[in-house]
Amino acid sequence: MTQDIGKIYEDAITSGLLPGISVFAGDKEGNIVYSKSFGKASLKKGTNLPFTENTLCGIASMSKLMTAVAVLQCVQDGTLDLDKDVKQLLPEIGKYGIITGFDDNKNTAILTPNTIPITLRMLLTHTSGHEYDWFNPWLIKWRASRGEKPLSGPDAEYIATLPLVYPPGTGFSYGTGFEWAGKAVEAVTHLSLDEFMRERIWKPLGIEDDASFFPRVRDGMKDRVADLSTLNEKGEPPAVDASDFSMTGGASDCLGGAGVFATPRAYYTFLSAVFQRDPKILSPTSYEELFRPQLNETLEQCLNDDIASSPEKTQYLGLQIPLSIRKNWSFAGLVVKEGHEGWFAPNTVFWGGFPSCMWFIDHETGICGTAVCQIIPAMHPKVIALYGEFQKAIFNLVKTKMD
């Protein structure tokens, strides 16, 4: 079975679908079941760096799991409260109110005030009313009316300060909640999110030299950063260099929802520690909160409806998990309420990141894994399909040993 995994990715490299990738999977005892790297770290002319487990990659939304852990550490410390209004800490949040339409004749958004408090629980479950502007036609028009571009700006607060798309707590939309959650951590700790994660997550796990929000200015890191590559407009290979594309929208500070760079081995080390509920990171109670499905029946329906609402959202949020499988959301990520034979068990948690990266934690089967590459378009279906095959191979390998 492990030979099959290798062939899957070797063929993807040969076809030009992927320049390079590194994959890891392990069991609940912390043993690595499979790990291998393939291809190159850059398609930039004049470079010939191999893609290895020590290549630093922009992990985009896979940063969210680290930020969720950071928030729960502050909750443990007593400096943050999951259910308290965050306005005192984050005075700019929700200041534009709720967008209910856009007047094309006046080139003006139609806004109504918001009176419902926004909490960290809402921010960590994408129920606060925030949606990524590039997902929402009204927000795209709102940005354009101000001479701004989607998901870009000088800092996290600028990028995250958007009109809400519904009253907080009444819907689901994937958005900038984790940027705000990261700012809340910074507000109470008086540290940057990079400094806080270095002290509370990366150093305890021994990965402080392999994770950073700012790898390009750190000695020992800057020469190991992979370059982004892209497929053509139709999403077809061969991939070409796209190293001028910024996944952080030009922000100079820490984007809690998208800004971490990590090596595949470092991210797997973190993922495995969370999977094993390492007490160096969180308490047992906090781990329960991290993995617990958070959405009530109404909000769960909103999540499932949102994933199915457009081909773009199905591609980006659905992770090619059948739409018929009911899903909920935890602070860690997407939770499947049902299993899929030969693939995953009920309550498996998934999430990914913009450059077609992905991770999973399958509690019942006793495996976790991650696959890290640097390719766009985002969450490319053919690349995500490879991850599905990778996960199935690991699932069946472990199941065979158990039987």
- 3-class secondary structure for 322-375? CCCCCEEECCCCEEECCCECCCECCCCEEEEECCCEEEEEECCCCEEEEEEECE
User: What is the model's pLDDT at position 5?
Assistant: 87
Rounded to 5°, angle at Cα 373 from 22 and 342: 65
Q: In this structure, what token pair is assigned to residue 207?
A: 């990965």
How far is it, in rounded angstroms, from Cα 30 to Cα 12? 28
pLDDT higher than 70, residue 359: yes
CB 227 within 8 A of CB 245: no
User: What is the model's pLDDT at position 26?
Assistant: 97
Architecture of domain 2-61+208-402: 3-Layer(aba) Sandwich (3.40)
How far is it, in rounded angstroms, from Cα 52 to Cα 227? 13
User: What is the model's pLDDT at position 147?
Assistant: 96
pLDDT confidence band for 401 (50 / 70 / 90): confident
Beta pairing, strands 334-336 & 327-329: antiparallel
pLDDT higher than 60, residue 358: yes
How far is it, in rounded angstroms, from Cα 113 to Cα 107? 19
pTM above 0.85, yes or no: yes
pLDDT higher than 90, residue 154: yes
CB 344 within 8 A of CB 336: yes
CB 208 within 8 A of CB 196: no
For 192-198, which contacts have Cβ atoms below 8 Å and span 24 or more sequence positions?
Answer: 192/253, 192/254, 193/67, 193/70, 193/254, 193/256, 193/259, 194/254, 196/70, 197/66, 197/70, 197/260
Q: In this structure, what token pair is assigned to residue 189?
A: 């700790």
Please state the φ and ψ torsions of residue 247, each to the nearest 5 degrees: -80, -15
pLDDT higher than 90, residue 279: yes
How far is it, in rounded angstroms, from Cα 65 to Cα 333? 7
pLDDT higher than 80, residue 328: yes
- In this predicted model, what pLDDT tens digit does every residue of 17-54 receive, in sequence order? 999 999 999 999 999 999 999 999 999 998 999 999 99
pLDDT higher than 70, residue 152: yes
User: What is the model's pLDDT at position 2?
Assistant: 64
Q: In this structure, what token pair is assigned to residue 246?
A: 């910024």
User: What is the model's pLDDT at position 1?
Assistant: 57
Count of CB atoms situated within 10 Å of the CB of 345: 18
In the chain, domain spans: 2-61+208-402, 74-189
User: What is the model's pLDDT at position 399?
Assistant: 81
Candidates 282, 338, 355, 265; CA nearest to 26 is: 265
How far is it, in rounded angstroms, from Cα 42 to Cα 264? 16
How far is it, in rounded angstroms, from Cα 115 to Cα 29? 47
Candidates 72, 21, 26, 34; CA nearest to 361 is: 26
How far is it, in rounded angstroms, from Cα 80 to Cα 88? 12
Residues constituting the chain: 403
- In this predicted model, what pLDDT tens digit does every residue of 161-214 receive, in sequence order? 999 999 999 999 999 999 999 999 999 999 999 999 999 999 999 999 999 999
User: What is the model's pLDDT at position 247?
Assistant: 87
How far is it, in rounded angstroms, from Cα 77 to Cα 196? 13
Please give the average per-residue pLDDT across 83-87, as a whole number. Answer: 98
Q: In this structure, what token pair is assigned to residue 240?
A: 């070409």
In the chain, what percentage of residues exceed pLDDT 70?
Answer: 99
pLDDT higher than 80, residue 310: yes
Rounded to 5°, angle at Cα 364 from 360 and 365: 70
